Structure 1
Amino acid sequence: MCHLSPEFVDITWGAGGSRPAATLEVVSNVQKVLALRGDPPSDQKSWTPCKDGLPSATALVRHIRATHGDYFGIGVAAYPELHPESPTLERDLYYLKQKIDAGAEFIVTQLFFDVPQFLDWVREVRRYGVGIEVPIVPGLMPIQTYTGFRKNVVDAGLSVPQWILDGLEAVKEDEAAVRQFGVEVGVKMVKELVESGLVSGVHFYTFNLETSTRLILEGTGLVTCPSPSSSQQQPSSSDSSNSVASTSTTPPPPSPSSAPKQSTLSVIRKDKPWRTHFLPHRRREEHQRPIFWANRPKSYISRTDTWHQFPSAANQWQRSLDKYGSLEGYGVGIKYPTAAEARLHWSKNGGGQPRRVEDLSEVFQRYWRGELQTLPWCDHPCRAGGGSGGEMESYRDRLVELNGVGCYLAINSQPVVNGVKSDDKVLGWGPSSGYIYQKAFLEFFVSPDQLPILINRLETHFPNYTYNAINHSGSTFFHSSSPKSKSRCRSKHTNANADKDDKEEEEEEEEPNTVTWGVFLNHEIVQPTIVERSSFLAWKDEAFALWDQWAQCFEGETESDSTRETRKVLDEVREKWCLMNIVNNDYHQPTGVFDLFEEDFVRAAKAREADAKVVVAEASGVSQVLETKEAAGVEEEEERAMRRKEEEEDGSNVFSNALAAVVVAAAAAGSHGVCQGLAVENVALTEASCSA
Structure 2
Amino acid sequence: MTVTANGTAKPFSIGSDPNLRQLPKIADKIRQRQSENRPFFSFEYFPPKTETGVCNLYQRVERMTAIEPLFCDVTWGAGGSTSDLTLDLSGNIQKYLGVDVMMHLTCTNMPAGKVLEGLEGAKNRGIRNILALRGDPPAGKEWTKCEDGFEHGTDLVRFIRANYGDYFGICVAGYPEGHPAGFLEGKITYDKEMEYLKEKVDAGADFIITQMFYDVDTFLSFVRRCRDIGITVPILPGILPIQNYTGFKRMTGFCRTFVPQSILDAMEPIKDDDVAVKEFGIRLGIDMCRRILKSQLCPGIHFYTLNLENSVMGIIDNLNLIPRTESIRSLPWRPATIDKRRNENVRPIFWANRPKSYLDRTSTWDDFPNGRWSDNRSPAFGDLTDYHLLGGGGWASATRKADAAKRYGDIKDFDDVTDVFTRFQKGELKRLPWAETEELATETSVISAPLLWLNRNGLLTINSQPRVNAAPSSDVTVGWGSAGGYVYQKAYVEFFAKPEIVDALFEAAGHFPSLTIYATKANSDKLRTTAKHKSTCAVTWGVFPDREIVQPTIVDPDSFLVWKNEAFNVWTNVWADLYNEGSPSRAVLNELKDSLYLVNVVDNDYVGGDIFGIFKMVLAQSV
Q: TM-score range by the shorter chain?
A: 0.5 to 0.7
Residue 162 of structure 1: CA displacement? 9.1
Q: 1:177 to 1:554 in 2, by over 3 A?
A: same
1:467 and 2:517 are equivalent in the alignment: yes
- Name the CA distance, whole Å, in 2 between partners of 1:448 and 1:116: 71
1:301 aligns with 2:359: yes
Counterpart of 1:319 (choices 360, 376, 382) is: 376
In the alignment, is the contact (CA less than 8 A) between 2:577 and 2:586 conserved in 1? no
Q: Which letter maps to 1:544?
A: F
Please tell me the residue identity of whatever aligns with 1:542.
E
Superposition TM-score, scaled by structure 2 size = 0.66
Residues 1:171 and 1:470: Cα distance change in structure 2 (over 3 Å): same
Tell me the CA shift for residue 62 of structure 1: 4.2
Distance 2:393 2:254 in 1: 45
Instruction: Summarize the alignment of residues 241-640 of structure 1 with structure 2, pairs less than 5 Å apart.
Output: 265=324, 269-276=328-335, 279-315=337-373, 317-328=374-385, 333-345=392-404, 352-382=409-439, 388-406=440-458, 408-458=459-509, 460-481=510-531, 487=532, 509-510=534-535, 512-556=536-580, 563-564=583-584, 566-589=585-608, 592-599=610-617
1:12 maps to 76
> How many angstroms does 1:145 deviate by?
3.0
Q: CA deviation at 1:418?
A: 1.5
Structure 2: tracts of 5 or more residues without a match: 1-55, 66-71, 95-100, 105-129, 183-189
SS at the partner of 1:523? coil
Whether the 8 Å contact between 2:286 and 2:319 is mirrored in structure 1 is: no
What do you get for the CA RMSD once the two structures are aligned? 5.1
Q: Give the distance between the partners of 1:92 and 1:467, measured in 2 at CA.
A: 63
Q: Does the 8 A contact of 1:469 with 1:479 survive in 2? A: yes
Aligned equivalents of 1:477, 1:541: Cα separation in 2 = 13
Deviations 1:560-619 (A, max 9, x none): xxx32x112211221111111111111112x65222222356579xx7xxxxxxxxxxxx
Contact 1:11 1:27 in 2 (8 A): no
What does the per-residue CA deviation read over 1:442-466, in whole Å, with 9 as the maximum and x for residues that have no partner? 11111122111112222x1221122
- Larger radius of gyration, structure 1 or 2? 1
AA matched with 2:606 = Y
Say yes or no: does 1:38 pair with 2:62. Answer: no
* Identity, % of aligned positions: 31
Q: Distance in 2 between matches of 1:205 and 1:336?
A: 24
Aligned residue runs from structure 1 range 2-401, under 5 A: 2-4=58-60, 6=62, 10=74, 12-13=76-77, 33-34=103-104, 35=130, 36-39=132-135, 41=137, 51=148, 53=150, 55-56=154-155, 58-59=157-158, 61-62=160-161, 65=164, 76=171, 111=212, 140-150=239-249, 152-153=251-252, 167-182=266-281, 204-206=304-306, 213-216=308-311, 265=324, 269-276=328-335, 279-315=337-373, 317-328=374-385, 333-345=392-404, 352-382=409-439, 388-401=440-453
State the secondary structure of the residue aligned to 1:308: coil
**Could you tell me whether the CA contact under 8 Å between 2:430 and 2:438 is conserved in 1?**
yes
- Distance in 1 separating the partners of 2:537 and 2:78: 49
Paired with 1:596 and 1:513, the residues of 2 have a C-alpha distance of 20
Q: Please give the alpha-carbon distance, in whole angstroms, between the structure 2 residues aligned to 1:357 and 1:190.
A: 54
Q: In the alignment, is the contact (CA less than 8 A) between 2:473 and 2:479 conserved in 1?
A: yes
* Stretch moving more, 331-340 or 17-26: 17-26
Q: Distance in 1 between matches of 2:450 and 2:557?
A: 27
Q: One-letter code of the match for 1:311?
A: P
Cα gap change, 1:374/1:51 in structure 2, threshold over 3 Å: closer, same or farther?
same
Amino acid at match of 1:344: D
Q: Is the 8 A contact 2:394 2:436 kept in 1?
A: yes
Kindly tell me: are residues 154 and 537 of structure 1, through their superposed partners in 2, closer, same or farther at Cα, counting changes over 3 Å?
A: same
